[in-house]
Chains A and B, each alone.
Chain A
Amino acid sequence: MSEKINVMITTENMEQMQMAAMIASVGAVSGNDVSVFLSMNALKFFLKDNNHKAPVAGDMGKTMLEKKVPPFLELFQQAVELGDAKIYPCSMAMDMLEIKSDDLFDYVGDPMGLTKFISDVKQGQVWSF
């Protein structure tokens, strides 16, 4: 059965970005209605001229980098392209970092405010990273 899955990401840690990307991609390709809200330290990874490396938080992150795990940005893109997930950049973070929509990857949607996100997540699962 299809569910609404909301994923809020504020971290910059590689392990958490990876887990959030897995939830979003697997959730979306399994027929769920997935919304991802990007704020705080997570937004910068979605800049087209992104050269930010996500710092690893622990041993698992180190191991994941050594082995061949699908990069989290690739998984987010697949969530959108294969599973129709929606990725919304937080409008506050956009203002704060002086980011325009054109600066972000094309698969990232229009900016969303917290009020709308809070209203949207009234129904469905909420995952926070």
Chain B
Amino acid sequence: MYRLGIDLGSSYTKGVLVDENNRMAAFHCVKTGYNFNKAAEKIISHFAESYEIVYPAYTCGYGREEIKVPFVSNSELIALAKAVYEIYQTSCSIIDIGGQDTKFIQVNALGQVDKFKMNRKCAAGTGSFLEEIAFRLDVTPEEFTEFAKEATQEVKINSYCTVFAISEIIGMIKTGATLANIIIGIYNSIILRSVELSLVEDHLVITGGLPAMHPTIVGLFKERYPDSDSPEHAQFLAAYGCVLLNNHNYQQGGVNESS
């Protein structure tokens, strides 16, 4: 019997199965598309082939209340903080870079959220910023990582706005900047937008879809914040946290009926 956590994000829907010892046992990620429930169904049918799932599902993200199976919804920020604390067992600062949101969360030594902040209504600093630029440059995320290895120096991207950033990049290409150096500039631009959310006070944990798909950015964070890392399955931690937050509803063998 496995409990299911689903993070229905703006770009991707992430599902995780959690075993009776509160460990992540299986992972699956699909593009969210236009229908949250359909995305969740894909996750569920994928897991159902090999695992027995106990309901309700535990959800978070923009589509957290848009699924048709029984569910308990949660704040993705509280869920993420819970999962990170479960792993690190200490106070920490979290930067989560997702498709549409970048979040800063400060978790205290008791595992509670002391403060949090989300990006302004703007794509800069989020996965969408990078996706749009990748689309315009006709480069895949995997190629981004490969190209980045060849970078010799950083090119500075100044524009806040995605459209202006693309114009700026085209100008750089015209003046001879290499794609590898530009990619490092794009990554650093995202880092700068995320670290301005708040002061990093503790060990920095980098999570979300973007660092999972672009591991180079984790290294660039480390250059600025030596005391930082990105845990395994960084993209699935909010979904995992949803399950952990609801441990009180669960006893071994099923849902606690009295809760």
Whether both chains belong to one complex is answered with no
A interface residues (Cβ-Cβ under 8 A, vs B): none
B interface residues (Cβ-Cβ under 8 A, vs A): none
